[in-house]
Amino acid sequence: MMKRSTLGWSSVGALAVLLVGLIIIFNYALSGWQIDLTANHLYTLSSGTRRILKSIPEPIDLYFFYSSKAAENVPQLRAYGDHVENFLREVADQADGKIRLHIIDPRPFSVEEDRAAELGVTGAPMNSAGSKFYFGLAGTNSTNGHEAIPFFDPSKQRFLEYDVAKLIYRLAHPQKPDVEWYSGLPMTGGFNPQSGQMRQPWLVYRQATQLYDVHALRPGATSIPADTRVLVLANPRNLPPATRFAIDQYALAGGHIIAFVDPLAESAAAPDAPPAAGGPDLAGLLASWGVRFNPNEVIADSALALNVAGPNGAPSLDPVIIGLGKADMSQNDVVTAGLSRVNLDTAGSLSPIKGAGTTFKPLLWSSTEARPVAAELLAGMTDPSSLLNAFKPTGKRYTFGARVTGRVKTAFPDGPPKGVKLPSGAKVLTAAAKPLHLLVFADSDMLADFLWVHTMNLFGQPIAEAWASNGDLVMNAIDNFAGSDDLISVRGKAGFTRPFTRVEALRHAAEVRYRAQQQRLQQELQQTEQQLTLLQTKRNNKSTLILTPAQERELQHFEAERLSIRKRLRAVQAGLVRSIDELGTELKVMNIIVMPAAFALLALAGAALRRRRRGHTGQKREHT
């Protein structure tokens, strides 16, 4: 017995020594190694983010304000907070010392809390005592510029990498991006001859001029300025050949273009005049970029129609003025994710051209209760709600907006059009030098104030209140394209929070069985209660004060059946718990034994390979 006991303790000691040895070898052999085994590579930086980090000219300070102690009682928030912290550490590690990360847990009414507010990080109120929960990021550069993510919204966790990369890019490149704007709409303001007064610019244009260095591209321009970060084309009509060729060359050079085309631009029409049918002459350029746009068709949608004032002033559904909800917008693209509603008016449709060599990703789309309508028909129609009479949808979803990327073909294969004089030294591109980045929307009226803004008069000052997200969509689009190609390439990843799908499947299957038996039990209880009520009625009848043997047997049978069903229900619940426990055991074995053993073997193999290389090197030295 003593020998067995001694042998057992010796084995335990040997295993302990072996475990410690493996840990030492593991730390030595795999120092600096990192393998991201998550399904969606949550901890792996994209190539675009890595290039942004490598191109930082001067050191940047990042301040992660996170109330970690306050999050201890909220497991989901604590898990996401730890994920953000680990991600920021990875960003700092990959920046070659150009990023200094500071992790701060602000105490109530402390200097750190004041610093957070100063840098633009907002705290969420926690209680009536004034304590706040902080979960945001701020950054500063060497020129005292600062950017901030006020609060990491868990619902936007798929865009964590993009938001952080954008903040770093802005700190590294603090100058306002140059935006060239060509518009065939009266959106820039000016004198209104009908009213005799100055007309205010549209709100979306005013917002753009506040955030970016916006220049109006003059009609007849023969080139796009070389420092243009974004080119916005808002319902460009009657483009001269020289300007179309300049846009073509900008696209071939890998430009960033946001285009709003329209088969029936009501905002471009003169007051009290019907809109002119026929879309802008950008369809040819779009075709060379792999996008098919029919300027003669408007999409009517009976399911998304908005209530507007009809000809007699009464509200009626207009199938060509439609409101898109979250289900009608891509939640996987940074431009449209998180928007609540986008309104369109007489929008057309877009589709990819096969073999064009570009990728076409829809951002906005119709319901299946939609169909195309001739733009010429709508131009003279006084009551579009009449389209709903005998409305026959095609059952197809039509794309209103899309992101297009790739190397495009020129729309001028024979060279510059006749009469076009190029600037001296200009080089004509006949093939794409870089991939084009294009956001195209088949509606330009979506930019107009009436579709998304209410204007109120407060003490003589006009106050704009947004009731839709049209402006946010445009700002998101410019913001996305105002960065470099590296920033644009950073895509949203799958969410950090992942449900236990196998556990939920087991639970759901057991609940289905449980619910079926529970319903059967309830039916039997209901039938028995009816029988008991009937027996009670008989008891009230003085002629029958006691139950018959048959009735007694019936009650005993019910009691036995009820106990049996309860037993089966407990068995179902026990089976559920047992299945989950077995799955948990499998996961524990994988995490505690299999994975460490695999890494240990990998470490041993790496150490052996390293010794072999050293041995070969030593032998070579001896021979020499």
Domain borders along the chain are 47-171, 176-417+428-489
Q: Look at residue 454 and give its three-state secondary structure.
A: strand
* Residues 444/298, Cβ–Cβ less than 8 Å: no
Q: Which of 395-399, 404-408, 554-558 has the lowest mean pLDDT?
A: 554-558
Q: Which of 71-80, 299-308, 496-505 has the lowest mean pLDDT?
A: 496-505
Cα(174)–Cα(157) distance, integer angstroms: 25
Q: Look at phi and psi of residue 290 and say left if phi exceeds 0, alpha if psi is from -120 to 50, else beta.
A: left
* Residues 157/497, Cβ–Cβ less than 8 Å: yes
Q: How confident is the model at residue 1 (pLDDT cuts 50, 70, 90)?
A: very low
Cα(603)–Cα(19) distance, integer angstroms: 13
Q: Is the pLDDT of residue 274 over 90?
A: no
First-last CA distance in the chain = 60
Q: Which structure tokens are listed for 177?
A: 């991006």
Q: How confident is the model at residue 518 (pLDDT cuts 50, 70, 90)?
A: low
Q: How confident is the model at residue 496 (pLDDT cuts 50, 70, 90)?
A: very low
| DSSP assignments along 477-532, one per residue | HHHHHTS-HHHHH------S----HHHHHHHHHHHHHHHHHHHHHHHHHHHHHHHH
Q: Which of 169-173, 294-298, 516-520, 593-597 has the lowest mean pLDDT?
A: 516-520
Please give the pLDDT value at position 406. 96
311: which DSSP letter? Answer: T
Please give the pLDDT value at position 314. 75
CATH 1.10.3470 fits 176-417+428-489, yes or no: no
Among candidate residues 596, 503, 498, the one with its CA nearest the CA of residue 40: 498
Cα(591)–Cα(603) distance, integer angstroms: 17
Please give the pLDDT value at position 583. 63
Q: Which structure tokens are listed for 11?
A: 């084995």
- List the beta bridge partners of residue 160: none
What mean pLDDT, rounded, does the chain reach? 81
Would you say the C-alpha torsion 25, 28, 32, 33 has a positive or negative sign?
A: negative
Residues 17-53 have pLDDT tens digits of 776 776 666 555 554 455 555 555 556 788 889 999 9
Q: Is the pLDDT of residue 6 over 80?
A: no
* Residues 65/106, Cβ–Cβ less than 8 Å: yes
Buried b (16+ CB within 10 A) or exposed e, 40-70: eebbbbbebbbbbbeebeeebebbbbbbeeb
* Residues 490/161, Cβ–Cβ less than 8 Å: yes
For residues 296-306, average pLDDT: 95
Task: Quickly tell me which residue has 């001028």 as its tokens.
Answer: 412
| DSSP assignments along 383-428, one per residue | -GGGGGTT----S---EEEEEEEEPPPPS-TT-SPTT--PPTTPPP
Cα(283)–Cα(415) distance, integer angstroms: 19
Q: Look at phi and psi of residue 235 and say left if phi exceeds 0, alpha if psi is from -120 to 50, else beta.
A: left
Q: How confident is the model at residue 222 (pLDDT cuts 50, 70, 90)?
A: confident
Q: Is the pLDDT of residue 211 over 80?
A: yes
Q: Is the pLDDT of residue 521 over 70?
A: no
Count of Cβ atoms closer than 10 Å to residue 583 Cβ: 14
Taking each helix axis from N to C terminus, what angle separates 160-172 and 75-93, rounded to the nearest 10 degrees?
40
Residues 368-385 have pLDDT tens digits of 999 999 998 888 788 888
pTM of the predicted structure, to 2 decimals: 0.73
* List of E strands, 188-241: 190-192, 197-199, 213-216, 228-234
Calculate the alpha carbon distances from 298 to 324, 331, 482 in Å: 16, 25, 31
- H-type alpha helices, 75-231: 75-93, 111-119, 160-172, 203-211
Q: Is the pLDDT of residue 151 over 90?
A: yes
Among candidate residues 446, 415, 67, the one with its CA nearest the CA of residue 241: 415
CATH 3.40.30.10 fits 47-171, yes or no: yes
Please give the pLDDT value at position 130. 72
Residues 467-489 have pLDDT tens digits of 999 999 999 999 999 988 888 88
Q: How confident is the model at residue 193 (pLDDT cuts 50, 70, 90)?
A: low
Question: In terms of pLDDT, which residue wins out, 160 or 553?
Answer: 160
Among candidate residues 516, 519, 525, the one with its CA nearest the CA of residue 562: 525
Q: How confident is the model at residue 526 (pLDDT cuts 50, 70, 90)?
A: low
Q: Which of 201-205, 322-326, 579-583 has the lowest mean pLDDT?
A: 579-583
